[in-house]
Amino acid sequence: MQPLKITNVMDEYSESNSYFITLIMKWKTHFIVITVASILLALVFSSEFFIHPHYKSFAIVYPSNIIPYSSETPSEQLLQLSESSDIRKTVIDKFKLTAHYNIDTAAKSGFSDLINRYQSNVEVKRTQFNSIEIVVFDTDPKLACEMVTEIINSLNLKARNLQREKTKELVIIIHDQLQVKKRQVDSITTALQELRVKYQLLDYETQVKEVTRGYLQALSSGKNVKDIDVLKRNLEEKGGVYYQLQQTFNVILDSYNATKLEYDKTVSDLYKDLTYTNVVSKPFPADKKSYPIRWLIALASAASSNLFLFLILMIGSGKKKL
């Protein structure tokens, strides 16, 4: 039974092919005319009289100097920045795209039409190598190239402004911390100065050693220990306070110096004109149009026309089953 079933299928397939060939040969003149006519019409309607040729300009950039705000990668952050309305507005205004696209923004949905037209001509996407590709299509190859360059410049400016806003906040925070530490240093300095003047306490550890040695020598030699007694009492009464203040002062002073270095570095970073894109492939004006591809339009038109004619002929011939 199995060989018979295969034979029936092969017979039906052969019959179908024979029917197709017969139908095409019978109406070959029509197919030729339709093919030629569809190709000619496709070439005419895809010409510059009906479709303005579009030229492609592109650049490939890598992010740099971008401080992460969340779990996003630098490439993802750069991609988000490229979608900023500020950048879009800058490009539209600089190149007068409203007039270039011949769009009346005063009309109903005119502004939406402008944005849609811009988004259809401008594409920013991440590549498989985590770089960012900026692509612009336009009827003017030079304008397309300049738009890519302006988008890169606007990206740098946008990233710099955002970075500076964050850095300004950081400068204020560190400055406040610095002022607190400075007041602490000044307060302890005043207290230490008072102890030095009133109680002649200059260096606790050294003075303790010298007073002890001098006191013992005076006792052994029978000399007057009155002057030594005064300093000895001062050390006994205020020495511990002086020592504690001195240790606290050293700790706070180290902290103050570290904060001052951080503050100076942050202020320096605030005024740096950094770039946030490394241009790997620079844009250039295209010397060959990217759209429309006339041969492809002609081929698709010829194929669809012939298919449509073939279906009509099949229906007209009354063939219901292939």
C-alpha to C-alpha distances, 131 to 74, 126, 157, 206, nearest whole angstrom: 10, 6, 19, 65
**In this structure, are 243 and 180 located in the same domain?**
yes
For position 136, what pLDDT does the model report?
95
Tell me the two tokens of residue 28: 């070959």
Residue 287 lies in a domain: no
CA-nearest of 138, 132, 134 to 117 is 138
Q: Kindly report the CATH number assigned to the domain that includes residue 96.
A: 3.30.70.1130
d(CA 62, CA 95): 25
**In this structure, are 143 and 172 located in the same domain?**
no
**In this structure, are 38 and 89 located in the same domain?**
no
Domain of 249 in residue numbering reads as 168-270
Banded model confidence at residue 37, pLDDT cuts 50, 70, 90: confident
For position 154, what pLDDT does the model report?
93
**In this structure, are 238 and 260 located in the same domain?**
yes
Residue 174 lies in a domain: yes
Using the predicted structure, report yes or no on whether residue 238 has a pLDDT greater than 60.
Answer: yes
For position 256, what pLDDT does the model report?
93
For position 219, what pLDDT does the model report?
46
Helix (H) or strand (E) holding 289: none
- Which residues neighbour 313 within 8 Å (Cβ) at sequence distance 6 or greater? 23, 27, 30
What single letter denotes the amino acid at residue 96?
K
Mean pLDDT of the chain: 78
Residue 150 lies in a domain: yes
Domain count, the chain: 3
Using the predicted structure, report yes or no on whether residue 95 has a pLDDT greater than 90.
Answer: yes
**In this structure, are 109 and 181 located in the same domain?**
no
CA-nearest of 261, 255, 124 to 182 is 255
Banded model confidence at residue 36, pLDDT cuts 50, 70, 90: confident
Residue 313 lies in a domain: yes
CB 163 within 8 A of CB 172: no
Please give the residue that has the higher pLDDT: either 166 or 309: 166
Residue 220 lies in a domain: yes
Tell me the two tokens of residue 203: 């260096």
Q: What is the pLDDT of residues 98-143, one digit of tens each?
A: 999 899 888 888 899 999 999 999 999 998 888 999 999 998 999 9
Residue 289 lies in a domain: no
User: Phi/psi zone of residue 275: left (φ > 0), alpha (ψ -120 to 50 degrees), beta?
Assistant: beta
The pTM for the full model equals: 0.67
**In this structure, are 154 and 65 located in the same domain?**
yes
**In this structure, are 83 and 177 located in the same domain?**
no
- Sheet-wide strand order for 277-281: 122-126, 132-138, 55-63, 277-281
Q: What is the pLDDT of residues 281-300, one digit of tens each?
A: 999 998 887 666 666 767 78
